[in-house]
Amino acid sequence: MSNRTDAAPVRSGRRRRPTLVSPEVHADLTVTFRLRAPEARRVVFQGDWMYGEAPAEMTRDADGVWSVTLGPLAPNGYLYTFVVDGLRIADPLNPLIKLRSQTSASMVEVRGAEAQLWEPCDVPHGSVDINWVPSKSLGGDPRWLWVYTPPGYAESGDRRYPVLYLLHGSNDTAGGWVLAGRANFILDNLIAAGKAKPMILVMPYGDVIPYGSEPVKALSPKVLERYLLREVLPLAEGKYRVAPGPENRAIAGLSMGAGQAIHVAFCHLDKFGALGTFSLVMPDRFDARFASAMGTPKNVNERLGLVWIGCGSEDPLLEESEEFAALLDACGVQFVRGATEGQHTFAAWRRQLAAFLPLLFS
What pLDDT, in 10s, does the model give residues 99-116?
988 889 999 999 999 999
b/e map of 5-22 (b: 16 or more CB within 10 Å)?
eeeeeeeeeeeeeeeeeb
pLDDT for the residue numbered 283:
86
What pLDDT, in 10s, does the model give residues 184-205?
999 999 999 999 999 999 999 9
What pLDDT, in 10s, does the model give residues 157-187?
999 999 999 999 988 999 999 999 999 999 9
Query: How many CB atoms are located within 10 Å of the residue 103 CB?
Result: 11
pLDDT for the residue numbered 108:
98
pLDDT for the residue numbered 5:
41
Domain extent listing, the chain: 24-110, 127-359
pLDDT for the residue numbered 17:
58
pLDDT for the residue numbered 219:
54
Distance between CA 197 and CA 134 in Å, rounded?
A: 32
- The mean pLDDT values, 10 residues at a time, for the chain of 362 residues are 42 61 97 98 97 95 97 97 97 94 93 95 97 86 94 96 96 94 98 98 85 57 88 95 97 95 95 97 87 92 96 93 94 90 94 97 90
What pLDDT, in 10s, does the model give residues 339-360?
778 999 999 999 999 999 999 9
pTM of the model: 0.91
Fold of the domain spanning 24-110: Immunoglobulin-like (2.60.40)
Instruction: Please state which CATH class domain 127-359 belongs to.
Output: alpha beta
